[in-house]
Structure 1
């Protein structure tokens, strides 16, 4: 029987890991070194406290905090009490967090104190004062201190002391594979974010597969830079480590110097993250001062991966396994993945093939042509939270999820994502894909960042306009950019206008908000 089906639920997985890997390290967070047995006890205590706080099976429990050991205990405790986890983006402002909390009618919230100079508690006060969150009964601050009306983490945990181990075990055993485990909200680049509903079985099956394809093993030391509020940070991080007995080393803020220091000090073996993370490590002037020889597994994606990056990771850092993958919240974070042994060209140019027991296809005008990416299988969400219209628009009658992503599939079934359908514009009858143009512009030595949108044109219908962030000290002009583009790409792709910005507008997930650029004209 497959391990994920044997566990059936996250509560059972937590108990399995606490017993199977009891003496091994589970979490390294600063000076804290927590064994798997200790982690099991912490999660059980948090679950007892959730029960004492009135959390019933199916209640939504939110966590709004950076990557820490307490995030792991709080989130898993809530899920082991039968709650449905709602992770909140740490970049959210108060109103954005309040929207998700109100939308899910969350009863309990775990929140950090001050993070990156922002008081999350203060951000919530207005929404609570104006009674925008009538269902939010308790807010627990993951700290030793809390303002009036809020509970400290220590006080919250103490509240569960009267709940027996048997009661906690019964609550966890009552969780079924088909029950909701979490609601992950989309980034909302084109409107209000929507909550993708994912079950325990989907989570365990998808990330059992991820662990197997990646080759994650017991004792691996995994630096988790991807934020826990994101499917990849939580599930390819925490859940995968629980399955395999790997060591979780959460890093709350992405800082290249800290990554280098952590890799060297903790002998990190596994480092997933976006291509920019790995590129910044390779190019960091202090790289040579750190021993990075322990790294053996890198999984990346979410953007085009230059072939040179794959070759440098293998050659300069000696990373044995470099893999790329593609997924989204609506596909439990997993849709395609490369396999160990794939050629560097496949890993760099594609996001791999459909994961086992699922289907991926591209709806296009012919073989090798761009089209919308469709996904079908156990990994497709059960729907958007309390939004049947959006669910029906996303998942058709045959069970295919229409991703809104544009891709190309090679004869081997390997998928290359090229753009978002909503971003595509048509120049004189030719489809222009902004991501492709942006990738070309980014190769200019004086361009730090670029975004392209379609704007009206009397003759061609639409043409491209580029918003560019210049390298500091560069004297790049619009004419320079256009001339360079004419040498690098087909004429219909060349932006007709260029506007320079200090930085591109991004949402809480770090994605460029194209709608805001379009309104600039």
Structure 2
């Protein structure tokens, strides 16, 4: 693909099918899809989606792990003019139902079985007034759920709608300090332009074999994952379940050259007993990001794992996933301690509490402006106006320091947010769920250090009068009602929470005591 101008995802798929034909585009344990297959099968799905009532702009949710069928469902939806709504596979029924209802999704693609769970059954007690069809991406085991194969009828004489670069491609829900997830909207043009730049910049090419460990429900696995891989004509290997030893085997057997992920991914590989016993010299490209990365990790990635290129980057869902990137030529210290400088066509600045731009080297809230910034949150003008000012600057809520070169160092992520093994965890969201428990009056959540996950949640709980509850019982309840990465690993019961004069919980007091 030579140009990203006026290009949409459906048009990209068509172009790459003509260019790469029978070359392998997606390889999983169960199926192989060539570039031609991707185009042909997604077109069939699109026509059948239109036949069952999907119109331009309608939302279609996908709640499934990294499998080839996820990509087919997404591209088919976008060819039909629909908007993809990815759902985190770690979410429980209540959390997924909120996204389905908030996005008003008409169709849900999901799983009859993944890691022992039937995802459709998780929704059995939820009220879903907008949902019209439930379609399984795996083997069908239920009479009230149809299967992806039902959308493969090829005899339909239906014209696909015209899709342009300004049309919405997806709505990805992100949580914030309010605790209620908000749907970030992205257009075809934004997705194509950002990840055309990103994939060229890191040097991804058609000879690469790309192991996608980052989940498809996240920008990192979807847009920087299979979409970027298709753009560059690479072969993608979706990985549904993270297992360090199996990943090492995959690198060896498939000669994987591209492996992005959070720092915990590389740390898990470095500590695996298998390392040193198999050949992983095919590794070439690594991309990671976090507020704090040990310089030693970058050194080990290059010198022990053999990566030629390792870069760090900073982005958020509201910026189509990318704001800044290091260069492949930066030194270990720069790659580990900064997140690089703004990508082409994007502006970054830091401001103080009065809205004034701070001098280089001084901390301030990071603001972003450019073609990558979302036009807003789905059906939520109030949140949109709060996040994006009249001049088009996105107020990230992240605190950083810009140096004289324009490189950004993230010093504090989104107010109270913490990162659990690569997943953003928002205390307000966890607190809201905890307060649904009938015995809990108040809850406060902070992130605490963890050797394996980087950070994990710790909850401080105030019980209602005359109620009793222990940590083990509450932890079990949490596992049933929230995604696993949100579940507090420590629970402390207290008579009251420290508050300031305005009644706001002073999280720093809780952190100091932990």
Instruction: Normalising by structure 1, report the TM-score.
Output: 0.80
SS of the residue 2:362 aligns to: coil
Deviations 1:91-149 (A, max 9, x none): 1111111111111111111011111122101111212xxxx212111000112323122
Partner residue of 2:173? 185
**CA displacement 1:351-372 (0-9 Å, x = unmatched):** 1100100001111454312211
Residues of 2 paired with 1:470 and 1:4: CA distance?
42
- Contact between 1:185 and 1:193, CA under 8 Å: does it hold in 2? yes
1:517–1:362 distance in 2 versus 1, CA, 3 Å:
farther
1:270–1:296 Cα contact (<8 Å) kept: yes
Q: Aligned residue for 2:37? A: 38
SS class of match (1:291): coil
- Give 1:241's match in structure 2, choosing from 194, 216, 229: 229
Give the C-alpha shift of residue 25 in structure 1: 1.1
Counterpart check, 1:61 vs 2:49: no
Which residue does the alignment assign to 2:4?
4
Paired residue for 1:356, among 341, 344, 352? 344
Aligned to 1:484: none
1:329 aligned residue (297, 317, 324): 317
Mapped partners of 1:20, 1:466: distance in 2? 48
- Aligned pair count? 449
Q: Does 1:410 align with 2:403?
A: yes
2:216 paired residue number: 228
| CA contact 2:291–2:411 (8 Å) conserved in 1 | no
> Which residue matches 1:29?
28
**What is the rounded CA distance, in whole Å, between the counterparts of 1:236 and 1:90 in structure 2?**
18
**Equivalent in 274, 280, 283 of residue 286 of structure 1:** 274
Query: Do the aligned partners of 1:146 and 1:152 also contact (CA within 8 Å) in 2?
Result: no
Report deviation, 1:32.
2.1
After superposition, the Cα gap between the structure-2 partners of 1:98 and 1:515, relative to the gap in structure 1 and judged at 3 Å, is: farther
| 2:368 is the alignment partner of 1:375 | yes
Q: Deviations over 1:466-496 (max 9, x none)?
A: 856689xxxxxxxxxxxxxxxxxxxxxxxxx
Structure 1: 5+ residue stretches without partners: 425-433, 439-449, 454-463, 472-498
When residues 351 and 270 of structure 1 are mapped into structure 2, their CA distance, relative to the original with a 3 A threshold, is same
Quote the Cα distance in structure 2 between the aligned partners of 1:78 and 1:367: 45
Name whichever structure is richer in helix by fraction: 1
Within the alignment, does 1:155 sit opposite 2:155 as a pair? no
Deviation, structure 1 residue 286: 1.2
Deviation at residue 162 of structure 1 after TM alignment: 3.4
Superposed displacement of residue 513, structure 1: 7.5
Aligned to 2:47: 48
1:17 aligns with 2:5: no
1:362-389 CA deviation, whole Å, 9 max, x = no partner?
1145431221110000000010000000
Q: Distance in 2 between matches of 1:465 and 1:74?
A: 37
| Deviation at residue 394 of structure 1 after TM alignment | 0.2
Structure 1 residues 508 and 378 mapped into 2: Cα distance closer, same or farther (>3 Å)?
farther
1:61-120, Cα deviation, whole Å (9 max, x unpaired): 000000001111111111111000000000111111111111111111101111112210
Instruction: Check conservation: 1:451, 1:466, Cα contact below 8 A.
Output: no
SS of the aligned residue for 1:5 comes to coil
The aligned runs of 1:387-466 (5 Å cut-off) are 387-420=380-413, 422-423=415-416
Residues 265-276 of structure 1 aligned to structure 2 (within 5 Å)? 265-276=253-264
Cα 1:208/1:516, change in 2 over 3 Å? farther
1-structure distance, mates of 2:212, 2:64: 14
For residues 61 and 286 of structure 1, the distance between their equivalents in structure 2, rounded to whole angstroms, comes to: 41
Please report the TM-score for the alignment, with normalisation by the length of structure 2. 0.81
Contact 2:184 2:374 in 1 (8 A): yes
Q: Does 1:202 align with 2:201?
A: no
Match of residue 201 from structure 2? 213
Does the 8 Å CA contact 1:89/1:509 hold for their aligned counterparts? Answer: no
Q: Is the 8 A contact 1:372 1:421 kept in 2?
A: no
Q: 1:188 to 1:223 in 2, by over 3 A?
A: same
Q: Per-residue displacement from partner, 1:26-51 (whole Å, max 9, x unpaired)? A: 11101422221122222112212211
Deviation at 1:157, TM superposition (A): 2.6
Task: Please say which of residues 31-40 and 282-291 is displaced more in the overlay.
Answer: 31-40
Cα deviation code 1:138-166 (max 9, x no counterpart): 000112323122102222333xx3323xx
Deviations 1:316-342 (A, max 9, x none): 122100000111110000100111211
Q: Is 1:311 aligned to residue 304 of structure 2?
A: no
Give 1:171-182 correspondences, 5 Å limit: 171=161, 174-182=162-170
Label 1:288 to 1:421 Cα distance change in 2 as closer, same or farther (>3 A): closer
SS at match of 1:223: strand
CA contact (8 A) 2:179 2:426 kept: no
Corresponding position: 1:144 with 2:143: no
What's the secondary structure of 2:152's corresponding residue? Answer: helix
Rate the CA distance shift 1:517–1:198 in 2: closer, same or farther, 3 A: farther
Q: What's the CA shift for 1:190?
A: 4.0
Cα separation, 1, equivalents of 2:197 and 2:484: 25
5+ long unaligned stretches in structure 2: 353-357, 429-444, 453-470, 498-514
CA distance in structure 1 between the partners assigned to 2:186 and 2:41 by the alignment: 25
Counterpart for residue 113 of structure 2: 114
Equivalent residue in structure 1 for 2:308, among 314, 320, 323: 320
Aligned-residue CA RMSD in angstroms?
Answer: 3.1
Question: Residues of 2 paired with 1:42 and 1:268: CA distance?
Answer: 26
Partner SS, residue 114 of structure 1: coil
Counterpart position of 1:490: none
